[in-house]
Structure 1
Amino acid sequence: MKRDKIFISYRQSDTQSEASRLKENLEEVFGQDAVFFDIETIEPGLNFAKAIENTIQQSQVVIVLIGLTWAEVKGESGELRIFEEDDWVRREVAIALAQHGSGTTLIPVLTKDAKPLTKSKLPENIQGLADFQWATLSIKNWRSDVKELIEVLKRQLNPIKPINPPAPLPEIPEFKNIFDSAPFKSSAPFTVTYGLWLKKYKWYFIGIIILWVLIEISYL
């Protein structure tokens, strides 16, 4: 199966605005078709659950965006949502972990001053998330943090190629000395021929000059 997408997993009540902002930043580099963002990407009429699962299976990287309340949000029952089996954030992470051995890269990204997760705060089937090295997207240093994350993606995710690569530098024309061109090049045959011609006819020139001097004197 071709893996050519970046999947952004997030909890709406926790980091919806940050996820939307990150999506726009990644699309500027990798293109709209490469970044999956559930609200905008799933077409009307599609089965939401199957669309999410299929997209994660097609993703080369899954970014799990984690804010301060990612693991603290409670459901209607009063239980933490992350421990409820129907929690879609939990299901997304579980699918990504299952796909990790098949070529999917999982990157936890901490934002809004969130702290790294410990396994004790996670249900058993996604405790492996705590083993992955995380990245940081601080609100204060967003631009530089996003730039660093993009560089990580460029280095690690070979099949996803950035769009709009920088244009190659124009070729600089090779400099040629004008004195090396044909009209200015010295020619050995020409030099020899000119020397023989001058030697042969120099007395004619001397005679003409003497005659001209005598004529000038006769008019004095």
Structure 2
Amino acid sequence: MDQKKIFVSYRHGHSDPYAGWLRDRLAQYFGSSHVFMDVRSLDPGVDFPKVIVQAIAACDVLIALIGADWTGAAEGRSRISDKNDWVRQEVETALDSGIRVIPVLLQGAQLPSVQEIPSSLGRIRDKNALTLTSGTFEDDMRRLVSAITSVDSGDWGDDPAKRLERGRTIRFAEMDRQYRLLFDFSKLQHRNNPFIQPGFRRGQLDRLTDNLDPDEEVALMFLCNLWVDKEVATLKSDQGSSRALAALTHRRVIYVPYSGSKSVQFIPYPQIINLDRGLTTIILTLAQGNIGISSVKPLGKLPLALQYIGDRLTGL
């Protein structure tokens, strides 16, 4: 039995029966524990967003079941255009993380047009889609199983360290989406401090760190503190700040060497090792933004700029 891990993404409604049949048949071949589908795979009372992100991070392939109602337009509005839509977020996460996405068209449905989907999902139109209909169900399933079996886990494989790296990348991509949902960067009233606006609740950020390992939590909470609580970030030489910054910069810490300097430089911090590209990208992206510096001296103050937040994960 091939040990591929499969995530079944579908829109609740007309696609429910097909999703159930598909999940049962895939479980027969790959094993029930290797096929994730929300209704049958979630225990009562679990944190739905967290479990979904963990499941996608662990999978080798995501099956996107696309029925006639996949975009949600049949309900009088396009649900897929909503950033909070879970079908959209599931497929986006897989596409952004390099996980193989196989579109499966149900009962004669077509891939949505470019105009019907957000640009973040445009890549799904480049994928080779399979079909699934009641009249040819067995033949369609054989083709799908063959396609899944041929998926190469690539660089990730079963190496725990590499799967951890992919999981971190997926979690940080999900965090970025959640941050962007909290703030409309195009309508900020306080450009120097984008976190001063109605409706913000600090707990919405805190809960995103629930499933991080200790180093990740130190690093992310450090950045959350800077993004949310202060307009001016003071870089201190205490152990916590140094450790967090070192983790985020791949064995480096932020250091402003001279008063009046117009750039941020990095110095080695060799005590931190075995860090992944997701952590590295976050802080390097921040540092590459337009950084205004006032009252600069070694380990001085860096005003946070809007580009810090808006562009922080563009390299992932």
When normalised by structure 2's length, the TM-score is 0.46
Q: For the Cα contact (< 8 Å) 1:66–1:108, is it kept in 2?
A: yes
Question: Any gaps of 5 or more consecutive residues in structure 1?
Answer: 161-220
Residue 4 of structure 1 deviates from its aligned partner by: 4.8
In the alignment, what sits opposite 2:15?
A: 15
Cα distance in 1 for partners of 2:92, 2:14 equals: 19
- C-alpha deviations, 1:2-41, integer Å up to 9, x for none? x952000000113110000000000000000100010110
SS in 2 for 1:82: helix
Name which structure has the greater RCO, CA cutoff 8 Å, separation 6+: 1
1:135 aligns with 2:130: yes
The structure 1 residue matched to 2:77, chosen from 50, 55, 79, is 79
- How many aligned residue pairs are there? 153
1:106 aligns with 2:104: no
Cα distance in 2 for partners of 1:98, 1:33 equals: 24
Cα distance in 1 for partners of 2:73, 2:116 equals: 12
- C-alpha deviations, 1:108-166, integer Å up to 9, x for none? 00011101222221012211111111111121100111011111212224669xxxxxx
Counterpart AA for 1:106: V
Residue 74 of structure 1 deviates from its aligned partner by: 5.5
Matches within 5 A, 1:1-220: 4-73=4-73, 78-100=76-98, 104-157=99-152
Cα distance in 2 for partners of 1:12, 1:82 equals: 13
Aligned Cα RMSD in Å?
1.9
Q: For the Cα contact (< 8 Å) 2:71–2:78, is it kept in 1?
A: yes
Counterpart AA for 1:18: Y
In the alignment, what sits opposite 1:192?
A: none
SS in 1 for 2:97: helix
Question: Any gaps of 5 or more consecutive residues in structure 2?
Answer: 159-316
Q: For the Cα contact (< 8 Å) 2:61–2:151, is it kept in 1?
A: no
Cα distance in 2 for partners of 1:35, 1:157 equals: 17
Counterpart AA for 2:69: T
Which structure has the larger Rg?
1
Residue 46 of structure 1 deviates from its aligned partner by: 1.6
Higher helix content, 1 or 2: 1
Q: Structure 1 residues 157, 25: CA separation in 2 closer, same or farther (over 3 Å shift)?
A: farther
- C-alpha deviations, 1:53-85, integer Å up to 9, x for none? 11111110000000111124466xx53111111
Cα distance in 2 for partners of 1:4, 1:54 equals: 16
Cα distance in 2 for partners of 1:53, 1:74 equals: 27
